[in-house]
Amino acid sequence: MATGWQQLGAAAYLGAPSKPKAPARKPGEKTPLNPLGYAADSTAGSSWLAPGTYSGDLAAANPGLIQDARNPEEVNRNIYAYMTAQGNGGGGGTPTGTIRRPVVGGGSASRSRGGGGGGGGGGGAAAPPQLTQEQLAQMWALLGQARPGAQQAGPAFDAPDYAGPQISPFDTSMYDNLRTQLGQAVTNDRAQSDQAYAALNSFMQRNYAANPYEMQGAANFGQAPGQSQDAIQRMLASQGANPQALTRGARSDAIGADQAFGNLLGILGQNQARDYTNRQYAAQQDQANTGRMYDMAKLQGDTGIGLQQGAAKDQWQQRYDQRAADIYNQQYQGNLAEQQANWQRANQLSDTNYSTNNQYTNAMLQSVMGNLLPLIIQGGLSVPDIQALLTQGGQ
């Protein structure tokens, strides 16, 4: 916001717009800064000398100023003289000399107080301040350096990222224990099965140690009770008979009967042996089937455990994915808010910087045009680089 003297200078340069009528002031009330310091109608309360006003205070404290400044030019001279006396281009203090009213026009271009030719300086007025080229250059540099710098946004706002609740990893220990127990049970049962079939084979070998049809003491005609064949032969021979002829038939019948019986025993013995062999094969088949049964039971158990583990893992994965989605959304929203806030801040600062810079430029140009330009013209000085003035500074 422009300060008091800048407002005075700017307003003086701009001339008097169709200003609104100043509100009536209460006694003793200091008016807010009267940009004009004077009024077209020198009514009380609106003059350069109006007590209580800023310009009035200046006038009261600095007798060397044009006491009855009637136009912007005269006001500008007063301001310049005062500022110079304050050390802006000159020494500190108050104007000691009297500011000479400008001769030409007298500034009464539009506010003529009657009579032509301006009033001339009133007796004893001091010579208007003169500005040297060096002073102008210094002032020009100061104006450029005094440009307010751009505000910086500072470090960007970065809030901590949303991490979300922690989900413990999927625990497979229970399912691993089940698989271990199942494997141990199958191993134990398989060992018991093998032991049982080993006992069976051992029993069958003991049980079939001898074929019951391979008997050694079976009855036969050669060992029939009673007289032996030799005795019968001898008896017949002793009676003068032919024993071979007389016993041939019976003997052949007996031999045939013994052979028939032997064949029967042989058949039955082979049958018994075949039964033993078949039993061994059957035991082997049973043992193999039992082993496959255990394999199938283990497979079924592992499948059941796997299905249960899969279902549980699916539920855990759903929770995990949901958590990841939540974290992503939270982080996105957070990043969005951070960037939006930083963007807004940057825009605000940019707007502020632009506004401040523009205000300063306007005020500066107003001051240059209003205060310095007349002095430059009057002193016949060279106008420094205006472009440098517009781009300099900003620190």
Write out the binding residues for other proteins, residues 199-228 only, by CB under 8 A. Answer: 199-200, 203-204, 207-208, 212-213, 215, 217-221, 224-227
The region of 50-58, 66-74, 105-113, 254-262 touching other proteins under the rule CB under 8 A is 254-262
Neighbour count for residue 48 (Cβ, 10 Å): 24
- Minimum distance of other proteins from residue 315's CB (angstroms): 17
Residues 297, 298, 300, 305: what is their CA dihedral angle, to the nearest 10 degrees? 140
> What letter represents residue 174's amino acid?
M
Interacting positions 279-318 with other proteins (CB under 8 A): 279, 282-283, 286-287, 290, 293-294, 297, 300-301, 303-305, 307-308
- Minimum distance of other proteins from residue 171's CB (angstroms): 16
Report residue 364 as tokens.
């500066």
User: Does residue 270 bind other proteins (CB under 8 A)?
Assistant: no
Residues in the interface with other proteins (CB under 8 A) total: 72
Q: Report how far residue 84's alpha carbon sits from residue 101's, in angstroms, rounded to the nearest whole number.
A: 17
Instruction: For other proteins, give the closer residue by CB, 33 or 196.
Output: 196
- Minimum distance of other proteins from residue 175's CB (angstroms): 10
Q: Which residues contact 107 (CB under 8 A, 6 or more apart)?
A: 69, 70, 71, 72, 73, 74, 101, 118
Interacting positions 83-102 with other proteins (CB under 8 A): none
The region of 123-131, 252-260, 326-334, 350-358 touching other proteins under the rule CB under 8 A is 252-260
Q: Report how far residue 204's alpha carbon sits from residue 282's, in angstroms, rounded to the nearest whole number.
A: 12
- Minimum distance of other proteins from residue 325's CB (angstroms): 32
- Minimum distance of other proteins from residue 314's CB (angstroms): 16
- Minimum distance of other proteins from residue 277's CB (angstroms): 12
The region of 116-124, 240-248, 358-366, 382-390 touching other proteins under the rule CB under 8 A is 240-248
- Minimum distance of other proteins from residue 209's CB (angstroms): 10
Q: Which residues contact 271 (CB under 8 A, 6 or more apart)?
A: none
- Minimum distance of other proteins from residue 321's CB (angstroms): 26
Instruction: For other proteins, give the closer residue by CB, 148 or 266.
Output: 266
Instruction: For other proteins, give the closer residue by CB, 276 or 316.
Output: 276
Question: Alpha helices, DSSP H only, in the chain?
Answer: 4-14, 54-61, 72-85, 133-145, 173-207, 229-238, 243-367, 373-379, 386-391
Instruction: For other proteins, give the closer residue by CB, 255 or 386.
Output: 255
Instruction: For other proteins, give the closer residue by CB, 29 or 230.
Output: 230
Instruction: For other proteins, give the closer residue by CB, 96 or 308.
Output: 308
Instruction: For other proteins, give the closer residue by CB, 63 or 266.
Output: 266
Residue 153: which of 387, 16, 348 has the closest Cα?
348
Instruction: For other proteins, give the closer residue by CB, 109 or 293.
Output: 293
154: left (phi over 0), alpha (psi -120 to 50) or beta: left
Report residue 256 as tokens.
């045939």
Q: Which residues contact 228 (CB under 8 A, 6 or more apart)?
A: none
Report residue 202 as tokens.
């051992």
Interacting positions 177-196 with other proteins (CB under 8 A): 178, 181-182, 184-186, 188-189, 192-194, 196
Instruction: For other proteins, give the closer residue by CB, 16 or 182.
Output: 182
Instruction: For other proteins, give the closer residue by CB, 138 or 252.
Output: 252
Q: Report how far residue 6's alpha carbon sits from residue 13's, in angstroms, rounded to the nearest whole number.
A: 10
Residue 384: which of 130, 137, 131, 80 has the closest Cα?
137
- Minimum distance of other proteins from residue 320's CB (angstroms): 25
Interacting positions 122-181 with other proteins (CB under 8 A): 178, 181
Interacting positions 311-370 with other proteins (CB under 8 A): none
36 with 393: CB under 8 angstroms? no
155: left (phi over 0), alpha (psi -120 to 50) or beta: beta
Residues 298, 302, 303, 308: what is their CA dihedral angle, to the nearest 10 degrees? 140
Among 16, 236, 312, 369, binds other proteins (CB under 8 A): 236
